[in-house]
Structure 1
């Protein structure tokens, strides 16, 4: 793993930034292809991208700052330094989600069908971004002999545990993202109601994140000795299940059949 890939003059090109950029581009491409395959929202996805990316980056950083306020409260000037790492996937999803909702309301676009279109791209972005976390030596796991990876000096992982083999939690999370992506793409044209794909993403990702947090070595513990990401994952699952029940009963049966057969519904819900 290499934190710095190469230099342009004296400017280091960091692997985390490169993978983050590739994740954004890859996610946008997949969302665009899904929109074009469905015959709707292709132009809107490109137009929305700037706001969703900005919201995701701001949310990712703010989430990290809030849950690490013990440090950032004494280092206020480091809060904007996103290039030094310290961003949260869950924060990026929340920030991006708020940007999507704002954009859809502004443009009078149906929110749930748009979120269904974007969900596969979000997973692609997360999977690639997690590879950047691995190369950067952050978001590391607990000591693990059989499935451990030894991180080099200079990484957060080495600073925390030295030369012990650590469980590569982010690689397993990237693999889980790919698996969830395959499931959602298979269900995309057979969704029973608008919002099903997006809510399935929230549920399945949160299940994987909750589980893998048991092997993470860098997470804060909060309620009932659970980690912050686990608490937010449980909350996400419960809210998503409640919304699934609500949306299933909101749409009449004939609308469900139409969506199942065409994969489209342009009514605003």
Structure 2
């Protein structure tokens, strides 16, 4: 039997470098690279993408933590010193996404950039980063589902190293990290394939399609996880938010299409040409 993978990649003196951090950092770098390649084609300078990432990353981390703390407030109210102890675990991707969108909107307003277009450029790459980032959860043996059987996992035709990494606490677990990763990877491939088709997407519809795709898949994956935050017994926070986001995104697509004056994604930046 294979042993569980070591979550620590290497040590530098007394500093332990975890695979989780390496994977997340790699995911961000790949996403930034792809967004920077797309931005000039749509009339947005590459520098704006770098600036956005530098602003968004710290606020995304804060947002991810605050989101988690808010829904676990009884514990953190009793242990306030743990609020900043992010190294003990407890962040939520929805919190990071919400904080990042706010930063994007503020930055774009200050820099006179079309918010919807910038979000469209970033959305598919964010989905890819999420797909890659879930493998950090895999290395930490977290974000998994309920107990299952070895026969079930082998029936999925998974590589043996994934199967053995899903042996957690003496029991095999549903690889929900993998389900979400694959769902996001398919969504990334679809959006990257079709967003350059003429007259397919109005500005804003790439990011709204991302929201609908991600929230739809997350609703079902969240239902299989064992580490969910709950609004109340039986109602998971991420499932409720997934429903709200899916309906809101679909409604925005319908509403903006009816306006008739929304530019096409391929029209690029109507406010400022690339310098």
Q: Same fold (TM over 0.5)?
A: yes
The answer for the alignment partner of 1:187 in structure 2 is 194
1:218 equivalent to 2:227? Answer yes
Correspondence for 2:12 among 8, 26, 33: 8
Looking at structure 2, the residues matched to 107 and 39 of structure 1 have their Cα atoms a distance apart, in angstroms, of 13
Equivalence for 1:171: 178
Cross-structure match for 1:125? 129
Tell me if the contact between 1:194 and 1:247 (Cα under 8 Å) persists in the aligned partners. Answer: no
- Larger relative strand fraction: 2
Greater shift in the superposed pair: 84-93 or 69-78: 69-78
1:83 and 1:24 map into 2 onto residues whose CA distance is 19
Counterpart Cα distance in 2 of 1:266 and 1:104: 13
1:116-135: per-residue Cα shift (whole Å, max 9, x none)? 00101211221121110111
Unaligned runs of 5+ in 1: none
Summarize the Cα distance change of 1:192–1:151 in structure 2 as closer, same or farther, 3 Å threshold.
Answer: closer
Distance in 2, matches of 1:265 and 1:196, equals 15
CA shift digits 1:54-107 (9 cap, x unpaired) = 221111111111122232222222222223322111111111111101101111
- Provide TM-score, normalisation by structure 2: 0.86
Unaligned runs of 5+ in 2: 155-162
The reply to whether residue 82 of structure 1 matches residue 91 of structure 2 is: no
- Residue aligning to 1:147: 153
**Within the alignment, does 1:240 sit opposite 2:249 as a pair?**
yes
Corresponding residue of 1:202: 211
Question: Shift of the alpha carbon at 1:177?
Answer: 0.9
Let me know the Cα RMSD of the aligned residues.
2.2
Q: TM-score if structure 1 supplies the norm length?
A: 0.87
The aligned length equals 256
Q: Choose between structure 1 and 2: higher helix proportion.
A: 1
CA spacing shift, 1:213–1:31, aligned 2, 3 Å = same
Return the offset for 1:250.
Answer: 2.2
**Bigger relative CO (Cα 8 Å, ≥ 6 apart):** 2
CA–CA separation in structure 2 for the residues paired with 1:151 and 1:218 = 17
CA 1:98–1:164: 2 relative to 1, 3 Å: same
Kept in 2, the 8 Å contact 1:188–1:197? The answer is: yes
Change (3 A) 1:223 1:81: closer
200-209 or 31-40, larger mean C-alpha shift: 31-40
For residues 85 and 128 of structure 1, the distance between their equivalents in structure 2, rounded to whole angstroms, comes to 19
